[in-house]
């Protein structure tokens, strides 16, 4: 009995303009288009809504063909790439980093083959530091550090031997750095 009284109250709550298509029952729900009213044009979308319906002892208002007013943000698929040698090579290629084998060897040396805290926590593959205070740059993901290497290190390269370039710009404090990088690059 309470169910039927609830349904009757629901049917009475539906405006008359919404009842013009079909009769509403607990099993059949009709579809109608909202008619324009005194609301601003932005608020008067041509949305189709299913009437307020009672199914069992639950009440629903369902919308059909409603455009998402807040689209999902675009997700960069590179953001979720697993850090592997193969994926690093793909990113070096994608961002047009020069001397990919040498740069890959730098990343492997700087991160201890992707195991260092700077790599795992700061997503910094190249030990890049802030010139002002010497602290490590922190990135949201490791692919951003590849872009940063290209933009902050390689823009200085004007030609010639890349190992000499790394020595000339003082890339690392270790005097044997370029020979270590060369040894790793020769194994790739």
pLDDT tens, position by position, 167-180:
999 999 899 999 99
Residue 130 reports pLDDT greater than 50? yes
Question: So where are the chain's domains?
Answer: 2-64, 78-187
Instruction: Give percent of the chain with pLDDT exceeding 70.
Output: 57
- Evaluated on CA atoms 178, 179, 182, 187, the torsion sign reads negative
pLDDT value at residue 81: 78
- Model pLDDT, residue 188: 87
Q: From CA 83, how far away is CA 65, in angstroms rounded? A: 41
Please, what's the b/e burial string for 8-25 (b: 16 or more CB within 10 A of its CB; e: otherwise)?
Answer: eebeeeeeeebeeeeebe
Q: Which CATH architecture has domain 78-187?
A: Orthogonal Bundle (1.10)
């Amino acid at each position: 009995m309470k169910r039927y009284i609830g349904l009757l109250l629901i049917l009475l709550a539906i405006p008359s303009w919404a009842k013009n298509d079909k009769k509403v029952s607990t099993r059949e729900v009709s579809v109608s288009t909202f008619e324009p009213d005194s609301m601003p044009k932005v608020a008067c979308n041509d949305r189709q809504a299913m009437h307020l319906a009672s199914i069992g002892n639950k009440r629903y208002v369902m919308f059909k063909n409603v455009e998402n007013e807040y689209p999902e943000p675009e997700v960069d698929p590179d953001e979720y790439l697993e850090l592997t040698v193969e994926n690093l090579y793909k990113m070096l290629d994608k961002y047009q980093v020069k001397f990919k084998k040498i740069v890959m060897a730098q990343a492997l040396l700087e991160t201890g083959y992707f195991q260092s805290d700077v790599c795992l926590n700061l997503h910094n593959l190249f030990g890049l530091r802030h010139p002002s205070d010497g602290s490590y740059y922190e990135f949201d993901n490791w692919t951003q550090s590849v872009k940063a290497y290209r933009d902050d290190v390689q823009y200085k390269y004007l030609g010639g031997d890349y190992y000499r370039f790394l020595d000339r710009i003082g890339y690392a404090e270790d005097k044997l750095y370029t020979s270590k990088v060369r040894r790793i690059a020769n194994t790739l």
